[in-house]
Amino acid sequence: MKVKFYGVRGSLPVCGREFEKYGGNTSCFRILRERVNRIAIVDAGTGIRNLGKEIVENGINQNIINIVFSHFHWDHIQGFPFFQPAYNPLQRIGILAMGRQGKIKDLKGIFSTQMQEDYFPIQMEMMGAQFEFLSYGDEEVIQGARVSSIPQFHKQSGGSYGFRLDDEGVSLVICTDLEHVNGIDQDIVEFARDADLLIHDGQYTKQEYENKFKGWGHSSWEHAVEVAIKANVKRLIITHHDPDHNDAFLDDLEKQCQKILPNALFAKEGMEVSV
Q: Where are the domains of the chain?
A: 2-274
Nearest of 148, 149, 210 to residue 181 by alpha carbon = 210
Fold held by 2-274:
Metallo-beta-lactamase; Chain A (3.60.15)
CB 5 within 8 A of CB 268: yes
Taking only the tens of pLDDT, the chain with its 275 residues reads: 999 999 999 999 999 999 999 999 999 999 999 988 999 999 999 999 999 999 999 998 999 999 999 999 999 999 999 999 999 999 999 999 988 776 787 899 999 999 999 999 999 999 999 999 998 888 888 888 999 999 998 876 568 999 999 998 999 999 999 999 989 999 999 999 999 999 999 999 999 999 999 888 899 999 999 999 999 999 999 999 999 999 999 999 999 999 999 999 999 999 999 99
State the number of CA atoms in the 13 A half-sphere of 155 facing the CB: 10
Instruction: Report the alpha-carbon distance of residue 213 to residue 185 in Å, rounded.
Output: 17
Residues belonging to the chain: 275
Q: How far is CA 192 from CA 72, 149, 226, 243, 267, in A?
A: 23, 11, 12, 27, 18
Sequence-separated (6 or more) residues with CB below 8 Å from residue 198: 173, 175, 192, 224, 227, 228, 231, 233, 235, 236, 237
The whole-model pTM stands at 0.95
pLDDT at 158: 65
Strands (E), 118-230: 130-135, 139-142, 145-152, 160-167, 170-175, 197-201
Instruction: Report the alpha-carbon distance of residue 90 to residue 64 in Å, rounded.
Output: 10
The identity of residue 28, as a single letter, is C
Instruction: Report the alpha-carbon distance of residue 60 to residue 39 in Å, rounded.
Output: 9
pLDDT at 102: 65
Nearest of 64, 69, 72, 68 to residue 93 by alpha carbon = 64
Bridge pairing between strands 145-152 and 160-167? antiparallel
Instruction: Report the alpha-carbon distance of residue 150 to residue 177 in Å, rounded.
Output: 12
